[in-house]
Chain A
Amino acid sequence: GIQVEQSPPDLILQEGANSTLRCNFSDSVNNLQWFHQNPWGQLINLFYIPSGTKQNGRLSATTVATERYSLLYISSSQTTDSGVYFCAVQYSGNTPLVFGKGTRLSVIA
């Protein structure tokens, strides 16, 4: 089946710093989503981005489908950005999402 790899696995930032999280996938996909899992375990939708670039406040994401990767950019990080960021892909139709192992981000004041 399709493989999803995220890097780095762990990241520690000083408040105000910028970061880039990467997601590589092994096959063509028709859906890619980025999530933030907060300390209470809730998965928060960040982006639905099978291709192209989107921005939402301090966060932006780019997916290059032909090269099978996606990037999540976090600018001017805040302590509330801490948590685990997951990339997940769908290879066709409404099939289940396949998740990467996540990047654990800690933002220190």
Chain B
Amino acid sequence: GAGVSQSPSNKVTEKGKDVELRCDPISGHTALYWYRQSLGQGLEFLIYFQGNSAPDKSGLPSDRFSAERTGGSVSTLTIQRTQQEDSAVYLCASSLAGSSYNEQFFGPGTRLTVL
């Protein structure tokens, strides 16, 4: 079946503008994760959703970042008033939840550049 998809693949924006990044998880996967990969920072967790539970937002770097997941499927990560330090590749992953098998599969990412 189809893997995790993300859009757009690239986004260039000006400092201070808001951006929205989209993730479509693998069909049937109830757990969805957002990560960020920055130069010199490695891969870091941002937020995750599991089923209908409240999301774990512990990795969000500031209150300019938020995410929602509609209908238990598609997720949108929103960054308000973007800053240059937000430039990074934003990766989404999904996995089956509620089982002992919880392999995560990643999308191709959205490369965000803030000028």
Interface positions of A (Cβ within 8 A of B)? 30-31, 33, 35, 40-43, 45, 48, 86, 88, 90, 93-102
A47: nearest chain-B partner, CB-CB: B103
Instruction: Tell me the interface secondary structure of chain B in the complex.
Output: strand
Cβ contact within 8 Å between B103 and A33: yes
> What 6 pairs between A and B have smallest CB-CB spacing?
A96-B45, A99-B43, A43-B106, A48-B103, A94-B31, A94-B97
Interface residues of B in 55-95 (CB under 8 A from A): 56, 59, 89, 91, 93, 95
Cβ contact within 8 Å between B50 and A31: no
Interface positions of B (Cβ within 8 A of A)? 31, 33, 35, 37, 42-45, 48, 50, 56, 59, 89, 91, 93, 95, 97, 100-106, 108-109, 111
Cβ contact within 8 Å between B56 and A96: yes
Cβ contact within 8 Å between B43 and A31: no
Cβ contact within 8 Å between B109 and A41: yes
